[in-house]
Structure 1
């Protein structure tokens, strides 16, 4: 009988040791299974850029389904225009724009610039979206097509009527968010102008743009943008567009301050028509303000 009690004590002792161990092992297995499931779940990368514009050019971002964005873009005159023009503050150009997300992938927009009294419109489609998890996409790709119509009066009028006033721009925007703080974008670009002043001028202008955003704090980020004109008559007579600035996030607003050598705020102007030398004081201070309004329910 004494032997039986001794064996029972040993069995109870082993159970007291093994059962908690088994429970811990089961908990650990459940955690591993959860981590494995999370790693396999496809997750879209958000906020590669905070706004639909980097500075002058567009980013891969779209407003989202049912969202209307009102955008004010403003450029003062050149910093080296002297004290008489209050270093550019007496001279200014402006663009007012509206952008609407038809779906989370497709957006359209319209705008009016004071420069050459230009109307513009665009369509933007998010072809690929960067993601993490199983079958992850390493980058985002957005396709952009824009049209610009100059309504400025020309003399003689007969030379600039109808389709001769139109300029088209086509871009593939390729971006990757390398970390929560750093995003980079490349923009191969074609600008087609129906009318050029001289026979030697190019109707088709090719360029490659690069942009980056470095987040400094939760609400502040540095931005930069550069467009390189491929060799040709346009590159010989005009300069590459350069812009530097920073973003300020304030709730539903995104406030962007920047300096650039391009007074124009749409692709028709800042890609093939930039004349300013950034490093000789041809610097235009400006800002973009965007405000988003949710007009309808979000759709996939």
Structure 2
């Protein structure tokens, strides 16, 4: 009997110890946070940035076009005769930080940008928050026309706060307060500092198709410029997202898009274009 009781006691003691150890382990384990994903499928809503970030070591090659105004009809082939182009790249330094560089044919603009995640939507926090900082270099300005021009005069800066929320698998919105500063400006028609606020949303129509809308109100714009209003269609095709765009602002740089929208939707004066992102 003693030979039987001894192993049983040892087994019971081992089980009790193992249970206590397991409970301690469970108490000390933190539940992994689940963040909201796919709030937006593209890095841009239409022209404005979204809170989507490249993954670490992920590279995006960007090709964008904005054609001329469709208002002129067949005379300029509905704007196709006056195309402007943007070529650029975006690299994910980390999962929360990316850098970008692009060249725009409009005003021969070079643009550098830094995008950085500040907060993510989860069960304990309602929104994604991302900062976006941009510096533009206008290389179109010639010494012949501006004999005293210096490099610093070619610069413009943009600072944006991107705040988004995914409400469902189909619907997401974003709010964007923006600040633009231009070193070279015409004080008779614009301010060196301009503030705007707006945003947009995305509605998923099918598994690979969504419609996007964005609008920004510029509080400091001169009377002959318009507030930018744009509509886009996202088409997911394998390794890239293709965006078809209709907008009243031809510029693809943030500083130009926000402050120099010239088209008037009510008069059929708007621009067609597209964004193409390829991921490597």
TM-score, length of structure 1 as denominator length: 0.80
Give the direction of change, closer, same or farther, for the CA distance of 1:81–1:160 in structure 2 (3 Å limit).
farther
Deviations 1:1-48, CA, capped at 9 Å, x for gaps: xxxxxxxxxxxxxxxxxxxxxxxxxxxxxxxxxxxxxxx652011111
CA deviation map 1:211-257 (0-9, x unaligned): 10000111000101111111x3x243311001001100011110000
For residues 151-207 of structure 1, the C-alpha deviation after alignment (integer angstroms, 9 at most, x for no partner) is 013343324321111000000000000001000000000000011123562000000
Where does 1:147-158 land on structure 2 (aligned, <5 Å)?
147-154=135-142, 155-158=144-147
Name the residue aligned to 2:134. 146
1:103 corresponds in structure 2 to: 94
Residue 6 of structure 2 corresponds to none
Question: Secondary structure of the equivalent of 1:90?
Answer: helix
Secondary structure of 1:216's counterpart equals strand
**Cross-structure match for 2:156:** 167
- 3-state SS of the aligned residue for 2:223? helix
Contact 1:229 1:235 in 2 (8 A): no
Aligned pair 1:275/2:266, yes or no?
Answer: no
Q: 1:252 aligns with which of 239, 254, 261?
A: 239
Q: CA deviation at 1:83?
A: 1.4
1:6 matched residue in structure 2: none
Give the alignment's TM-score, normalised by structure 2.
0.86
Q: Which runs of 4+ in 1 moved over 6 A?
A: none
The range that moved more, 268-277 or 194-203, is 194-203
1:218 equivalent in structure 2: 207
Q: 1:128 aligns with which of 104, 116, 119?
A: 119
TM-superposed deviation, 1:284 = 0.5
Partner of 2:62: 71
Which residue, 73, 76, 86 being the options, matches 1:85? 76
Q: Bigger radius of gyration, 1 or 2?
A: 1
Pair 1:196 & 2:176 matched: no
Q: Which runs of 5+ in 2 are unaligned?
A: 1-30
Q: CA–CA distance in 1 between the matches of 2:210 and 2:73?
A: 31
Number of residues of Structure 1 aligned to a counterpart in Structure 2 = 249
CA RMSD of aligned residues (A): 1.3
Deviations 1:106-151 (A, max 9, x none): 000000000000000000101001113xxx1110000010000000
